[in-house]
Amino acid sequence: MCMVQEMYLDGWDNTTVTLTWALCLLLNNKQVLKRAQCELDAQVGKERQVEDSDINTLPYNQAIVKESMRLYPPGPIIERETTEDCDVGGFRIPAGTRLCINLWKLQRDPNVWPNDPQEFQPERFLNGHADIDMKGQHFELIPFGSGRRMCPGVSFSLQVMHLVLARIIHGFELRTPTDADIDMSTTLGMISWKATPLEVLLTPRFPSVFYM
């Protein structure tokens, strides 16, 4: 029971962090937010809220989640331990060595992401990187890790993030109290928390009956 509870709480932290960064990025890139809302209005309409079954029809909204997790993986560093001697990048690594993989660096590497890797561009996942997913098979984007030790809750986490973010974008206009750009500073630690609180003002886009 304790193990299940710990997995649930860890998963909730990671989901919260990702949603926070996604909202920050959207608020700093209003043209992306507008395009996402247009896609939702066209595919879902204005008479009902987004459902799980809609997610596969929303490629741009899916790209927003991918790009958010590329720039701000919830856990910026993952650890692995070698089970046998191996060579990595010309270095001899003996068995039993603990390795730290810097996802923050990997997922912003200009050799892997050549087009402005520091910039928020969901469109990159509609073009040259369209086939990349986040389930550990494409090593340029592994926010949940990879292999047998990857996050066991990856499918549930992605389902929640896609649905919650899509419902917020679809149902509300978003802005900050001052309309100023959001500070994107992070804390240091095992989870990439935002260094300062995020304040967002939500204005309903539809009549009140829509939210019932």
Distance CA 125, CA 113 (A): 11
pLDDT at 12: 61
The upper half-sphere exposure of residue 98, i.e. CA atoms within 13 Å in the direction of its Cβ, equals 3
Look at residue 101 and give its three-state secondary structure.
strand
Residue numbers belonging to the annotated binding site: 151
Residue range 32-45, pLDDT digits in tens:
999 999 999 999 99
Any idea what DSSP says for residue 11? H
Distance CA 75, CA 56 (A): 26
Look at residue 65 and give its three-state secondary structure.
helix
Total structural domains within the chain: 1
175, amino acid identity: R
Distances (CA, A) of 208 to 31, 34, 171, 185: 26, 21, 10, 36
**E strands of the chain, at which residues?**
77-81, 86-88, 91-93, 98-102, 172-175, 201-204
**Would residue 84 count as lying in a domain?**
no
**Would residue 91 count as lying in a domain?**
no
Distance CA 107, CA 27 (A): 22
Residue numbers belonging to the annotated binding site for heme: 151
| 25 phi and psi angles, rounded to 5 deg | -65, -40
pLDDT at 14: 80
109, amino acid identity: D
**Would residue 49 count as lying in a domain?**
yes
**Would residue 85 count as lying in a domain?**
no
Enumerate residues 6+ apart whose C-beta is below 8 A from 105: none
Answer for the pair 54, 166: CB distance below 8 angstroms, yes or no. yes
Full-model pTM: 0.89
**Would residue 87 count as lying in a domain?**
no
**Would residue 81 count as lying in a domain?**
no
Residue range 111-138, pLDDT digits in tens:
989 889 999 999 999 987 888 888 877 8
**Would residue 67 count as lying in a domain?**
yes
List the CATH number of the domain containing 204: 1.10.630.10
Q: Indicate the burial class of 111 (C-beta count within 10 angstroms; 0-12, 13-18, 19 or more).
A: exposed
Q: Where are the alpha helices (DSSP H) in 53-146?
A: 59-71, 103-106
**Would residue 114 count as lying in a domain?**
yes
Q: Which domain range does residue 50 map to?
A: 2-75+104-211
Question: What does each of the 212 residues of the chain score in pLDDT, given as a tens digit?
Answer: 444 444 444 556 788 999 999 999 999 999 999 999 999 999 999 999 999 999 999 999 999 999 999 999 988 888 888 899 999 888 899 999 998 889 999 999 999 898 899 999 999 999 878 888 888 778 889 888 877 777 777 888 899 999 999 999 999 999 999 999 999 999 988 888 999 999 999 999 999 989 88
